[in-house]
Amino acid sequence: ELRVTNVSLKRWNKKLGSLEGTTGTYTKGTAAGLSIVANLNAGAVLDSVAVDSKTGYLFNEYDVEEGEGKTTIKLKQSYLDTLKEGEHTVYVILSDGESQYLELEFALTVVAAPAKSGGCGGSIVATSALLAVISALGVGLIAAKKRKEDK
């Protein structure tokens, strides 16, 4: 359940939970999104998720998997690819379901996808190998001709 709440009215409670890790990197264009794991203490639930703004809540940009004492927030590739390259802050808000909240911060770095080489690296290797074979054949032909002339 996702609820949008007024941040200024929240009562913060650090005993609600924590994150497994506080940093992550996403490379644009990769097939997978990015997962953030929250360890939830008894009675705590995921309230909301925001990126770069405590009031800019995400709604359809992530999936949630709940397990025993853990909630995994999977930010979708389609959303992550819209972020500018650089540093971002993901705000994960936990709640006790009533009046107490905990805001956890996760530092996200978005980097560009590696540039495609255009395939010239493989063709350089293939061309070098071909030239080596041709050179060896040439040396062999010259040696054979020399032997024939010497007879």
- Terminal-residue alpha carbon distance, the chain: 94
Decide: pTM greater than 0.85.
Answer: no
C-alpha span between 115 and 29 (Å, rounded): 11
pLDDT digits (tens, 9 = 90+) for 84-132: 999 999 999 888 888 888 888 898 999 988 877 665 555 666 666 666 6
Mean pLDDT value of segment 13-38: 87
Residue 8 has pLDDT above 50, yes or no: no
Residue 34 has pLDDT above 80, yes or no: yes
- Sort strands 86-95 and 23-27 into parallel, antiparallel or unpaired: unpaired
Q: Which of the pair, 145 or 5, is modelled with greater confidence?
A: 145
Residue 137 has pLDDT above 80, yes or no: no
Report residue 20 CA to chain centroid gap.
16
**pLDDT reported for residue 6:** 39
3-state DSSP assignment of residue 21? coil
Q: Please write down the long-range contacts of 58-64, taking CB distance under 8 Å and 24 or more positions apart.
A: 59/2, 62/33
pLDDT digits (tens, 9 = 90+) for 45-72: 888 898 988 777 888 899 999 888 889 9
Q: Which of the pair, 23 or 14, is modelled with greater confidence?
A: 23
Find tokens 């264009």 and name the residue: 29
Residue 80 has pLDDT above 80, yes or no: yes
Q: What is the dihedral of CA 63, 23, 15, 69, to 10 degrees?
A: 40
Which H/E stretch holds residue 31?
none
Question: Do the beta carbons of residue 104 and residue 38 sit within 8 Å?
Answer: yes
Region for 115 from its dihedrals, namely left if φ exceeds 0, alpha if ψ lies in -120 to 50, beta otherwise: beta
